[in-house]
Structure 1
């Protein structure tokens, strides 16, 4: 029997650091714990709490993406925009983490039942079947969007396997291959949002270089998977 207790404790342990904002690792680990616990709910077959964890992960992910982006050499106007966005995102996350909603979520997570390994194994098979579907779609159309969908399905399978004490070395290795693509895509999305309705020649030039870097990273990741990208995809 496997339990969620370890990741609930992990979440609790990193809340103070996430609240302080002193170390980006605090927010990162809140997001990791949220994703792990969603995988646990997949194995339980529970729908309850999944939307709550998705919301927590999304809010923490917004802060994390901005922190990662600001660690790069950026055009000044874009940097100032992201700093303002990060300040607001942190404010919203802190309010969420201190809210009664968060307290109720933590209480509910503490009472999740242990896994029935036989039933959980069947649910893992469904997650693996979904991953195979994502892989087939990626093989047919090796685009950035399909690569991103494959990566998300891959992560869910990895976390589910680890809850069941199964080897997930292959899934973990593939995640690492796809990590740079995900970071570049997140930065590209932030930059496009910044440029929407705004004139900034320096940032526009930076976007062109970023698009080239993202295309190259995507080609490399697809190559590592034995695939070739669709031109312009």
Structure 2
């Protein structure tokens, strides 16, 4: 099992990092770099790639090393995956060496066992990396290896330069990797790297874009403690956040911005939900608010340029909406670039590393009394029931006469509904399935309507400001505002019915 934390670094800062006290004083500090030439092999249809594997032969002097890496998890830059490494006698792979190590009933195993695969293998790209390796032994006893890489990935279709730092765990706990990365971050501006060298090579071959990733269900056991439940929920939220980072940075799919923002909201909601028993690390909420706001501006203009204005672009006034949409799309693209820059920033890298350390070390235990530790060791079932009851009661209070509320109070009710939804999804596995299903269905319908009403309010604010920067959009913006206001007024009775339906339900148990 390979456990590596991958970080990008400006090429001009590699030498500065090499002389950082932590690395320069290490026993066996880096000498002259070694050239590593790795040739990646695949079938013409890239069968290894599509089953989540990479196959290479690395040349180090006169030695040849064959490596197969399987798809694993990549969380906050930490790659956790199975790796099979064996010496070979030639510059091409020997699949027979792998047949006893990969389960034959997996996609990769079937590919390796197929006699025709070896004959169809061909080089698909090459990496040429100058690597300096520095072994580290920390005071904790954990053993790490720091690799400073500079080089190139080359394919027939193009090439890409690499300057990176790889921190590999040889022995010890994963949080040591994050702690070391934070120390190195004080010397040079590092960034979380979401792509392995194999990923970079395949990106030169395949024009694939990162898809938006929605939250996966949270699975809790009825015997899980409060602390166990919190860890599972927090990691679930972080998985959604990290899964969409790459898509936000690439900018190909605006939905990645939305899903990363949802992940951040879910995490903040989870921290709030457990705040009385598991306090967050200082400054965490402020930093989560910052990155969420950077994504929020992009999302607001995307929604306006897309679904909201499409409602108004009907009938004889459709032509007037076109310049409004064009202006909004330009602003959305600009804000999407700003969101990408935020996710690529040192500030965000530091946030990711600090959260990873806090969660892995269970940093909330520091300073806890024995009584507080006893509380977080109790079963989560009763806590979940109490939380769902309290949040449901708060939504009922804030939603009184919901259809008649002003924008501000309706917004507060919408936030309360969102918190109820997140809490219900977090604890769904501890409740009766049928009760959760009916409750979430009614709550989702209510949320959808409240969300649309909020989009209309935001749209009105953005359309009001638009003519100052886009005079050609003045007439269309005024029409769109009027049209959306009339649609919101017409929603009065449907919203009353949705609220009435939800009020009849009790929170699931």
Asked if these proteins are the same fold (TM beyond 0.5), I'd say yes
Calculate the TM-score normalised by the size of structure 1. 0.81
The structure-2 alpha-carbon separation of the partners of 1:217 and 1:192, relative to structure 1 and needing over 3 Å to count, comes to farther
- Greater mean deviation of Cα atoms: 31-40 or 167-176: 167-176
Q: Is residue 35 from structure 1 mapped to residue 299 from structure 2 by the alignment? A: no
Which among 336, 349, 354 is matched to residue 90 of structure 1?
336
Structure 1: runs of 5 or more not aligned: 228-233
Q: Which residue of 2 is the match for residue 150 of structure 1? A: 413
After TM superposition, the structure 1 = structure 2 runs for residues 69-84 of structure 1, keeping only pairs within 5 Å, are: 69-71=304-306, 72=310, 73=313, 75-84=321-330
Structure with more contact order per residue of length (Cα contacts < 8 Å, sep ≥ 6):
1
Shift of 1:171: 2.6
List per-residue Cα deviations over 1:16-45 (Å, max 9, x = no partner).
111111112211110110011011101220
1:211 aligned residue? 485
Q: CA deviation at 1:155?
A: 0.5
Tell me which residue corresponds to 2:499: 225
Please state how far the C-alpha of 1:131 moved relative to its aligned partner.
2.0
Equivalent-residue separation in structure 2 for 1:55 and 1:129 (angstroms):
30
Given the two structures, how large is their TM-score scaled by the length of structure 2?
0.40
Q: 3-state SS of the aligned residue for 1:22?
A: coil
Q: Is the Cα–Cα contact under 8 Å of residues 181 and 221 in structure 1 kept in the other structure?
A: no
Q: Distance in 1 between matches of 2:417 and 2:302?
A: 24
Q: Say if 1:217 and 1:188 are closer, same or farther in 2 by CA, change over 3 A.
A: farther
Q: Distance in 2 between matches of 1:187 and 1:161?
A: 30
Q: Tell me the residue number matched to 1:191.
A: 463
Deviations 1:23-75 (A, max 9, x none): 12211110110011011101220454223222322222221221122222472
User: Does the CA-based 8 Å contact 1:144-1:218 persist in structure 2?
Assistant: no
Contact 2:237/2:266 (CA < 8 Å) preserved in 1?
Answer: yes
- Tell me if structure 2 keeps the 8 A contact 1:142–1:222: no
Q: Contact 2:249–2:341 (CA<8 Å) still a contact in 1?
A: no
Contact 1:185 1:214 in 2 (8 A): no
Matches of 1:66 and 1:53, distance apart in 2 = 21
Aligned length: 226
Whether the 8 Å CA contact 2:251–2:340 is kept in 1: the answer is no
Structure number with the higher strand fraction is 2
Higher relative helix content = 1
Cα distance, 1:206–1:10 mapped onto 2, change above 3 Å: closer
Match of 1:8 in 2: 238
**Residues 136-147 of structure 1 aligned to structure 2 (within 5 Å):** 136=400, 138=402, 141-147=404-410
